[in-house]
Amino acid sequence: ASGGPVFKRVLLKLSGEALMGNLSYGIDPQTIDRMAAEIASVHKLGVEIAIVIGGGNIFRGVQGAAQGMERATADYMGMLATVMNALALQQALEKHDVATRVQSAITMREVAEPFIRRRAVRHLEKGRIVIFAAGTGLPFFTTDTAAALRCIEIGAEALLKGTKVDGVYSSDPEKDPGATRYARLSYTEVLAKNLKVMDATAISLARDQKIKIIVFNVRVPGNIERVIRGEPVGTIVEE
């Protein structure tokens, strides 16, 4: 590989779908193990890593609401789904000999630490990977917004958003053969063009605090490390 890591501390956002592999629901053991192996190897480069995990592979608030639930209730269920993913990821990482802590935005003392910002930072300094569960702890928000928020709170240098596509495209590459991938975008362009990078709350928070976002395909083996080494993978969203 090329140069060393270009970041000292990063916030990695993984959607719940990243754990699904080729399944249509839930967690695929091989996929989560590969993901954990990659994260562990990047961690060995000396990078401090915090992770925000989604829950869409188990439950999404919007879908629950569409079936007649109150949106807030459905959102709380979605947040609980992220806690399940966090525990699974913790276990997978520990199989690769990385010390981890799960911190939940919804207090659940028996399974996770409560979210305490200064404690999270301390864990990172001690070389532990911190997994943030339960999103922001608030309904009507997303785990992308939680990722932007935690990224700022812990002073991470970049928000690495792992997705199932290679970056941000001018239109949906699965429907439009003429779709082109942007190498770089500004926050304002993302908002103005309504590009599906992250929801507007997450993007405007990132814009206010000038967080660099790198959107990349986490399904491609080795991509997390490429991003950490500063290789031109995916799309960068910055000022």
Binds ligand UDP by CB under 6 A, chosen from 7, 10, 11, 15: 15
Task: Kindly determine how many residues on this chain lie close enough to bind ligand UDP according to the rule CB under 6 A.
Answer: 23
β pairing state of 48-53 and 9-14: parallel
For ligand UDP, the closer CB: 79 or 227: 79
- In angstroms, rounded to a whole number, what is the distance separating the alpha carbons of residues 82 and 105? 10
162 binds ligand UDP (CB under 6 A): no
Question: Could you tell me which residues are beta bridge partners of residue 185?
Answer: 237
Residue 19 labelled as part of a binding site: no
Contact flag: residue 123 with ligand UDP (CB under 6 A): no
> Distances from the Cα of 81 to the Cαs of 59, 104, 199, 224, in angstroms?
6, 12, 19, 24
Residue 212, strand partner residues: 158
The interface region with ligand UDP, picked from 72-80, 91-99, 123-131, 173-181 by CB under 6 A, is 72-80
The span from the CA of 79 to the CA of 77, in Å, is: 5
- The reply to whether 16 sits in an annotated binding site is yes
Q: Please, what is the minimum distance in Å from the beta carbon of residue 25 to ligand UDP?
A: 12
Amino acid identity of residue 131, one-letter, is I
Please identify which residue in 115, 141, 182, 216 interacts with ligand UDP, judged by CB under 6 A: 141
Segment lying near ligand UDP (by CB under 6 A), choices 41-49, 74-82, 153-161, 202-210:
74-82
Provide CB contacts within 8 A for 154, sequence distance 6+: 9, 11, 50, 117, 120, 121, 124, 130
The nearest distance, CB 177 to ligand UDP, in angstroms, is 26
| 115 scored as a contact of ligand UDP (CB under 6 A) | no
Q: Give residues 76-95 in contact with ligand UDP (rule: CB under 6 A).
A: 78-79, 81-82
Please list, in sequence order, all residues whose beta carbon lies within 8 angstroms of the beta carbon of residue 98, skipping any fewer than 6 positions away. Answer: 36, 39, 40, 43, 128, 129
* Closest to ligand UDP by CB, 7 or 141: 141
For residue 29, how many other CB atoms are within 10 A of its CB? 12
Which contiguous run of DSSP H or E holds residue 148?
Answer: helix 143-153
- Residues that constitute the known binding site for UMP: 55, 75, 136-143
User: Which residues contact ligand UDP by CB under 6 A?
Assistant: 15-17, 54-56, 60-62, 74-75, 78-79, 81-82, 135-136, 138-139, 141-143, 146
